[in-house]
Structure 1
């Protein structure tokens, strides 16, 4: 039996217990001995990097509209916690700058997902802003940068080739996904747990890829992936799903 060392990555923070991608969700990691988190980076209309999964604020705030069409000041007026529970009323959108200070202070590791709708020069500006922000990272912090967007991930890799990249895959993994992963020199493939088979995992790992699987909230599935030799699992329950 394999030793139990598969990494658990707190998906958008401890998002089963606090509103996703908020300070509260990240701070809940601290007493849990969880050293990895996952979050999503987008950019406001005035060029500020913020942590939010959706292209719009509708689902996770009391406002509406696209992230890219709002200023940071405008977004900070919204409540990003009450939708989850009245206990979290008043949670504001989190900036990448705040998170970098947080992870440097607590020596955490992060999987950053590039998640934005901006294109062209705006996209290039987005990547340059990320590059500048990452220069503040403590060199002891491990980071992975992942995306479903292959051209965007390829641009990022050209900008920061020493940062490990991961290709996110939604659905069954095909030969084209392997070609895409190789094109961006990805060290990781992030498959959807719903589609990954043991044989597929074995083939990918034999090709030299590390696998970080999303999103695993079932203890039996977590244990099975651990036996397969998976590197890590993204989970909303980092303290409650054991291997």
Structure 2
């Protein structure tokens, strides 16, 4: 089995993260999967962006939860990365899904619920309702640093795949795995390197794997996948090491 390449916020290293150009580039680079993040706007729309605030990645300021969709759509999400991408907008979940459907994408769509800092009321139900009403050709994988979001979504969509994100502690991840709520771990690659011999035999997709050294480590040990900002580089290296 080939180690799957999951594009972190799209091709984050080469395009404005979590934007349609970033996801399009990831598909062109040969990514097997897309990883992205979802928040909830003031007026209840599912918004694709990483941070709780727009300050870092756009020309605006403020929290996602305090801004409406119309206000978010007026922001420039590309110019801070490179003036070439000026005018790029923050996408909604539906816009990203429709891009993937149009591209006939059949890989992994790893949606992280960003609820570990702000517990958006009802976001799990909104996400589940969206996918229950929008059949997709790709494999849906949910993850979160907030275990309750995983448990709530599991109750709503028991047939989806769930994986646990963590940086250094994985007691909760072990419990959820034992309870058959999750089937894999998405740990920090630095943590994986320190604890390699102690890791349980579960599906591993470490993040964020950006150096050739770390990519080679993942390919050599045949991890289920790796999450990277540079899917193009990861794909070229996988061809050399795993033949595909």
TM-score normalised by length of structure 1 = 0.89
Q: Report whether the alignment pairs 1:115 with 2:114.
A: yes
**Paired residue total:** 233
Q: Report whether the alignment pairs 1:161 with 2:154.
A: no
3-state DSSP of counterpart to 2:233: coil
Tell me if structure 1 keeps the 8 A contact 2:19–2:90. yes
Uncovered stretches (5+) of structure 1, i.e. residues with no partner: none
What is the aligned partner in structure 1 of residue 96 from structure 2?
99
Aligned-residue CA RMSD (Å) = 1.9
Q: CA deviation at 1:33?
A: 2.2
What is the aligned partner in structure 2 of residue 49 from structure 1?
46
- Superimposed CA distance per residue, residues 155-208 of structure 1 (whole angstroms, 9 cap, x where no aligned partner): 11111111000100112x444431143346101110100111386467422xxx
> 219, 228, 231: which is aligned to 2:212?
219
What is the aligned partner in structure 1 of residue 57 from structure 2?
60
3-state DSSP of counterpart to 2:190: coil
What is the aligned partner in structure 2 of residue 32 from structure 1?
29
> 164, 167, 173: which is aligned to 1:177?
173
Q: Report whether the alignment pairs 1:142 with 2:135.
A: no
- Superimposed CA distance per residue, residues 38-58 of structure 1 (whole angstroms, 9 cap, x where no aligned partner): 000101000000101100001
Tell me if structure 2 keeps the 8 A contact 1:144–1:165. yes
